[in-house]
Amino acid sequence: MAGTKTFFIIKPGAVSHEYIGPILAKINANGFHIAALKLIQLDRYHAEHFYAVHHEKPFFESLVTFMTSGPVVVGILEKENAVADYRKLMGATDPAKAEEGTIRKLFAENIERNAVHGSDSDENAEIECNFFFSKSERYSKFED
Ligand code: CMP
């Protein structure tokens, strides 16, 4: 059975353009419960660890520089089938390929400055949620 939570980031470009409100409104309008939320400045250590899976990619250095260039919003979203449904709402990684009405189509600048991140599996959702939030920082509708 698919899990009920996913982890998301509103990236520096979208935060600096004052898109936090519009993006959260879209998330709520699509039936997600916001179980945790905070505005933080990522440091290099956390950005490198968070994106460690992309360490060998040519864009890794640039991605880490971008993700530490200003504040980000991190949070936990809850809903049945959360990972897949939020990935559909985000749209394709490259906003040029994203469907109309998706968050990336509406708010992203390019494939790197692509407005938002979302977990790609239930397993990674668990890891990413735990990377940023303790259990006491969550208001869950699904878990104790
Ligand atoms: P995200 O969903 O946060 O996961 C990894 C990120 O790497 C991705 O969004 C993009 O911001 C970035 N990324 C993925 N592919 C490329 C690419 N080809 N060029 C630049 N950045 C990329």
Q: What pLDDT digit, counting tens, does each position of 68-112 carry?
A: 999 999 999 999 999 999 999 999 999 999 999 999 999 999 999
Separation of CA 119 and ligand 1 centre (Å): 13
d(CA 81, CA 30) in angstroms, rounded, equals 12
Which of 59, 74, 86 is the pocket-test mutation for ligand 1 (most atoms within 8 Å of CB)? 59
Q: What mean pLDDT value characterizes the chain?
A: 97
Please state the atom number of ligand 1 nearest to the C-alpha of residue 59: 20
What is the model's pLDDT at position 2? 85
Separation of CA 112 and ligand 1 centre (Å): 5
For the chain, give the DSSP string: ---SEEEEEE-HHHHHTT-HHHHHHHHHHTT-EEEEEEEEPPPHHHHHHHTGGGTTSTTHHHHHHHHTSS-EEEEEEE-TTHHHHHHHHH--SSGGGSPTTSHHHHH--SSSS-SEEE-SSHHHHHHHHHHH--GGG---SS--
Separation of CA 129 and ligand 1 centre (Å): 19
As a whole number of Å, the end-to-end CA separation of the chain is 19
As a whole-number percent, the residues of the chain with pLDDT over 70 amount to: 100
**19-65: per-residue pLDDT in tens?**
999 999 999 999 999 999 999 999 999 999 999 999 999 999 999 99
Domains and CATH numbers, the chain: 5-137 (3.30.70.141)
Residues annotated catalytic, as ranges: 117
Pocket of ligand 1 (CB under 6 A): 54, 59, 63, 93, 111-112, 114, 117
